[in-house]
Amino acid sequence: MPLRNEVQLITYADRLAGDLAGLVRLVRSDDLAGAFGGVHVLPFFTPYDGADAGFDPIDHTAVDPRLGSWDDIRELGRTHDVVVDLIVNHVSAGSAAFRDVVERGEASGSYPMFLTLSSVFPDGATEEDLTRIYRPRPGLPFTPIRLGGRLRYVWTTFTPAQIDIDVRSAAGKAYLASILDAVAAADVRLVRLDAVGYAVKTPGTTSFMTPETFAFIEDFTAQARSRGVEVLVEVHSYYKMQVEIGRSVDLVYDFALPPLVLHALFTADGTALAGWLRERPRNAVTVLDTHDGIGVMDVAPDPTVEPGEPERPGLLTPEQVDELVEGIHERTGGTSRRATGAAASNLDLYQVNSTFYAALGEDDGRHLAARAIQLFTPGIPQVYYVGALAGSNDMDLLDRTGVGRDINRHHYAPDELAAALERPVVRALLGLCRFRNAFPAFDGDVDVTLDGPVLTMVRRGVDVPDAVAVLAVDLATGASSVRWSGGPSGSGRTDDLLAAPPALGG
């Protein structure tokens, strides 16, 4: 059974609803009824609150009992498509397998599962070899750790708490297969391959999205499909790479969309956005925000170009990227600057840490215009929980943890959630999601036109050919309107998404 062509919610169970059972109740509540057809539940494995908010699992096959059990995931799957993270690049330094390697070194049966400098470069590495490795943060991807009493350089792409797996070893393959078996047994519909671009290390290359990486993705996708699980690939990279990835997997993120939408709304120039909307892969998951920051490398020139090779331009020029970043910092009153780059223990220096709502200057109209563009873009839309609630930058959490991405990972108390759900901008966005889910124009492609600052997107139904939905956004003012006709709901229009979001039967 294919995934629903409906909006999905991205959320941590604990930060929005307390635990998995609470999340099930919330997405089935009257407040959210009809708004979301799927839920991407961010890591709930043991432990969900480790060094990287669950992306450093000690046991990737076990649900943290503080959040619930696999039965809760199965229960959620009765009414919603469930998306789960599959962390293919690394495991926690506290995992039983790696602890055994620390204790016994090469005598451990788990030793081949983990990468060291010498296992990737058995003949030694030159300075050129090491500087060629593509990095998401400054420095080299190694941490000195004693394995069996011998000091080794262990490969740690992200943090010393996250130990990289040799995905081509027998032990690594068995480990990843065990996770696939666990999620398939819980009726998970889609897995998101986290940080897969770094998963294969090949001497003499960038070790990022190399031909060997593509081969691994294709093989892993085949394994998942054989278990009835689809694959979503998460890679922040040069935009043409996303197009290439899309040819070999079920779904790929459209990470170019968020910065292009911001650029268009900041400058009233939709040229780059309209061009991308015409050429982007159609088998995409569209996002404006996630648990990470707002990526900018996805629209920038290719950073992996080797010396002497011709430059590969991005969707925006370097000057436009710089202006975009500064525009976000200006509209957040500088709070995003405090959370971005080397300012706050960031893993990813190519991302700006801010809520999407804050990046738009907390302008309700522009926030809804941006969401409407997302929902009218072909693909499966995912809306991050803080964005769904039009959340501000959480400076208190940032100050407490010193982790830049926590600015966009707010913990909602029940009364705070209830108040957020009553805000007009939130109610309007949920209404827009319901329209996107129910109106039968969104199974076709999109026609995009640009008339000065006005961007128009037209969706036409395939199964219901007379169903048409038209979005018009004035990028200069942020004003947006929707009109629709055909289908079971007749016709209607709204000239102000904030005052009157689309409603079926209008």
Query: Is 396 part of any known ligand binding site?
Result: no
User: What secondary structure letter does DSSP report for 141?
Assistant: S
Q: What is the model's pLDDT at position 342?
A: 61
CA–CA separation, 67 vs 55, rounded Å? 15
Residue in the structure block whose two tokens are 């998970």: 188
Distance, C-alpha 183 to centroid of its chain = 19
Report the half-sphere exposure of 477 (CA within 13 A, side-chain side): 9
Q: What is the model's pLDDT at position 93?
A: 96
- pTM exceeding 0.85: yes
Query: Is 351 part of any known ligand binding site?
Result: yes
Query: Is 451 part of any known ligand binding site?
Result: no
For 169-198, the three-class secondary structure string (H helix, E strand, C coil) is: CHHHHHHHHHHHHHHHHCCCCEEEEECHHH
CATH of domain 96-164: 3.90.400.10
Q: What is the model's pLDDT at position 278?
A: 93
Each residue's pLDDT tens digit, 395-450: 999 999 999 999 999 999 999 999 999 999 999 999 999 999 999 999 999 999 99
Query: Is 291 part of any known ligand binding site?
Result: yes
| Catalytic residue from among 56, 72, 85, 234 | 234
Each residue's pLDDT tens digit, 232-285: 998 888 888 888 888 878 899 999 999 999 999 999 999 999 999 999 998 999
Q: What is the model's pLDDT at position 344?
A: 44
CA–CA separation, 210 vs 327, rounded Å? 33
Residues 6+ apart with CB under 8 A from 381: 7, 8, 285, 286, 287, 374, 375, 433, 436
Query: Is 194 part of any known ligand binding site?
Result: yes
Query: Is 348 part of any known ligand binding site?
Result: yes
374 close to 366: Cβ distance less than 8 angstroms: no
DSSP β-ladder status, 284-286 and 380-384: parallel
Query: Is 218 part of any known ligand binding site?
Result: no
Query: Is 86 part of any known ligand binding site?
Result: no
Residues (pLDDT < 70) of the chain are 1, 342-349, 489, 504-506
Residues 6+ apart with CB under 8 A from 230: 3, 189, 190, 191, 224, 250, 251
Query: Is 350 part of any known ligand binding site?
Result: yes
| Catalytic residue from among 64, 75, 166, 194 | 194
Q: What is the model's pLDDT at position 506?
A: 41
CA–CA separation, 301 vs 77, rounded Å? 40
Is 234 one of the catalytic residues?
yes
Query: Is 277 part of any known ligand binding site?
Result: no
CATH of domain 8-87+170-438: 3.20.20.80
Containing 230, the helix (H) or strand (E) segment is strand 230-233
